[in-house]
Amino acid sequence: MEFNQQQSQHPKSAEERAAILANPGFGDYFTDHTAVIDWTAGENGVGGQWHDARIEPYGPIALDPAASVLHYGQEIFEGLKAYRHADGSVWTFRPYANAARLNKSAARLALPQLDQDAFVESLRRIVAIDQQWVPTGDGEALYLRPFMIATEAFLGVRAARKVSYRVIASPAGNYFGGELKPVGIWVTHAYARAGRGGTGAAKCGGNYAASLIAQLEAEENGCKQVLFLDPFNNEAVEELGGMNVFFVTSAGKLMTPALTGTILEGVTRSSIIQLAKDRGMEVEERTITLDEWRQGIASGDIAEVFACGTAAVITPIGLLKNGEETIGDPDAVAGEVTMALRAELLGIQTGTVEDRHGWLERLA
Ligand SMILES: *Cc1c(COP(=O)(O)O)cnc(C)c1O
């Protein structure tokens, strides 16, 4: 796909960029450009095509107030990172997995399929023009946020016939900030993030909107993140609002909730499963109940718990708060297997550990 390129006339100054890169945070600042591809359905909404691929200056977008994304939430997104390697080159991690997942989400939200090569090309183009925004610090990266929105101005309820795909980019430091200390997680019994036949397996904004109240509940209870249980029996561990969950047993086995249709299949999750298998670890994807977690911690059978996702990579979980009950140790230190998997994954992404599986894709 050919991208037209319109250079920003007002890019941030080198000084301003340097100040931002010195302390990027997460998702607070954006680069100078954005990639856009529009889609228009064919006659009577049948078929359709992508057109007008372009790089534009970063800035507010004009949307009709009746645009269906604003009313019915027809939106999906992706998240991946661009890492600068020691030789200055810029790489991303398994972008075709994100492209495939975007299309899976698109199918669920009745949005159009986007060619996987066009997806990867859009990342390449944004990184090419905004290369100076890729940080060089330890654990830092340029976070790439592709998303697709229904732009048709129409209040009837049906799949929109005008859609826009965009990519924005944001320099990112350590997601939870500072050192890697195990976090406390709150388990919500009041809220679910997904239901049978729902959108739990799709990466859509609506899932996040529905999870925010539970996140508030977690914060009110002194926790950083919220854990959701299965919506059917309120028993099986599913995932956090935006991260998958893993357990390491004292026998060195890795366990994670099976993909049942209500859990988002993380690229980090599948990469960790592969890296664990490479180490000769047994990996189980199955139902893990809250009770198994409780008993596993009490008996010592569960040695480590961690969460994972692109933004935070791997974050150790020190304790789980379940109402008045506390499972785990508030002073826990990060587990050995957790840290080893994290170091290996980060090493592959940043080019210091061999990329045995061909997961890296050069962007610039
Ligand atoms: C994005 C996301 C994840 C993590 O996926 P990665 O591909 O590993 O970044 C996990 N859970 C939910 C709900 C998500 O939206």
- Token readout for 84 is 């600068």
pLDDT at residue 139, rounded to an integer: 83
**Which two tokens mark 185?**
């997680």
Strands 225-229 and 183-188: parallel
Q: Which atom of ligand 1 is nearest to the CA of 78?
A: 1
**Number of C-beta neighbours around residue 60 at 10 A:** 5
DSSP string, 3-53: -EE---SSPPPHHHHHHHHHS-TTTS---SEEEEEEEEE-GGG-SEEEEEE
Residue 315 belongs to what H/E stretch? strand 313-322
Superfamily of domain 183-350: D-amino Acid Aminotransferase, subunit A, domain 2 (3.20.10.10)
In this structure, CATH architecture of domain 4-172:
2-Layer Sandwich (3.30)
Distance CA 35, CA 33 (A): 7
Q: Give me the torsion for CA of 351, 79, 194, 215, rounded to 10°.
A: 90
Nearest atom within ligand 1 for CA of residue 311: 9
Q: How far is CA 65 from the centre of its chain?
A: 28
Q: What is the DSSP string of 69-119?
A: HHHH--EEE--EEEEE-TTS-EEEE-HHHHHHHHHHHHHHTT-----HHHH
Pocket lining: 262 vs ligand 1, CB cutoff 6 Å: no
Distances (CA, A) of 353 to 98, 193, 273, 312, 345: 22, 36, 17, 19, 8
Q: Cα(203) to centroid of ligand 1, in Å?
A: 7
- Token pair of 334 as six digits: 């990060």
Locate 13 and state its tokens: 């100054």
Quote the radius of gyration of the chain (alpha carbons, Å): 21
Please report the pLDDT score of residue 301 as a whole number: 98
Ligand 1 pocket: which of 310, 346, 359 to mutate (most atoms within 8 A of CB): 310
Q: In Å, how far from its chain's centre is CA 82?
A: 13
Q: What is the pLDDT of residue 137?
A: 87
Q: Which two tokens stand for residue 60?
A: 């507010």
pLDDT-flagged residues of the chain (< 70) = 175-179
Residue 318: phi, psi to the nearest 5? -85, -45
Report if pTM > 0.85. Answer: yes
Sign of CA dihedral 335, 336, 338, 339: positive
Q: Could you identify the residue written with the tokens 């919506």?
A: 231
Q: What ranges make up the beta strands (E) of 42-88?
A: 48-57, 75-77, 80-84
Mutate to test the pocket of ligand 1, among 94, 96, 203 (most ligand atoms within 8 A of CB): 203
Element holding 225 (H helix, E strand)? strand 225-229
Residue 71 dihedral angles phi and psi, to the nearest 5°: -110, -40
Phi, psi of 54 (to 5 degrees): -160, 160
Q: What is the model's pLDDT at position 177? A: 54
Closest CA to 173 of 324, 23, 68: 23
Instruction: Specify whether the CB–CB gap between 287 and 281 falls below 8 A.
Output: no
Q: Whose CA is nearest to atom 6 of ligand 1?
A: 266
pLDDT for position 135: 95
Task: Kindly list the domain boundaries of the chain, sorted by start residue.
Answer: 4-172, 183-350
Q: Which pLDDT value is given to residue 330?
A: 81
pLDDT in tens, 281-328: 999 999 999 999 999 999 999 999 999 999 989 999 999 999 999 999
Report which ligand 1 atom has the smallest distance to the Cα of 211. 13
Ligand 1 site, residue 256, Cβ cutoff 6 A: no
Between the CA of 267 and the centroid of ligand 1 the distance, in Å, is: 7
